[in-house]
Amino acid sequence: MKLSGIAMLGGAGIVLAGIATAPIAGAAPCSAAGATGTIGSVSTAASQYLAGHPGADQTLSTAISQSPDDARASVRAYFTAHPNEYFDLQGIVAPLKDLRGQCGVSVTPSQLALLLDGI
């Protein structure tokens, strides 16, 4: 199973997921408003999904404190054993992939926070 399709954040690798969302009314998808709307929807959906899937939540929570190699191995092992959850998350993360493809950029909440920290 190929796990590289899940959007990973940070050195340890946290899955960021979301549901397919409609663009924010009046916001161009590649604008800051459109991108942050997509990120917000994705973050909300990820939280809801992981709250309903405690095994995935625990695996990803533990991965935060692991080395990158150990985190990748534990996340891969979990989702290999739970392929339905892997495929659910693949569908959930689709709006971020669409944003990357449509706008030619990959934006994460942590990157957005770093931009705002610089003000």
Domain count, the chain: 1
- Whether residue 3 lies inside any domain: the answer is no
pLDDT of 46: 87
Q: Cα dist. 25→14, 22, 33, 34, 106 in Å? A: 29, 8, 10, 9, 21
Asked, for residue 2, whether it belongs to a domain, the answer is: no
Q: How many residues does the chain have?
A: 119
| Model confidence pTM above 0.75 | no
**Mean pLDDT in consecutive groups of 10 residues from the start of the chain, 119 residues:** 40 38 58 86 91 96 94 96 93 88 76 70
The answer to the question of residue 1 being in a domain is no
Is 88 part of any domain? yes
- Per-residue tokens: 61: 């929570």
The reply to whether 109 falls in a domain is yes
pLDDT of the residue at 62: 96
User: What is the span of the domain harbouring residue 58?
Assistant: 8-117
Distance of alpha carbon 93 from alpha carbon 114, whole angstroms? 22
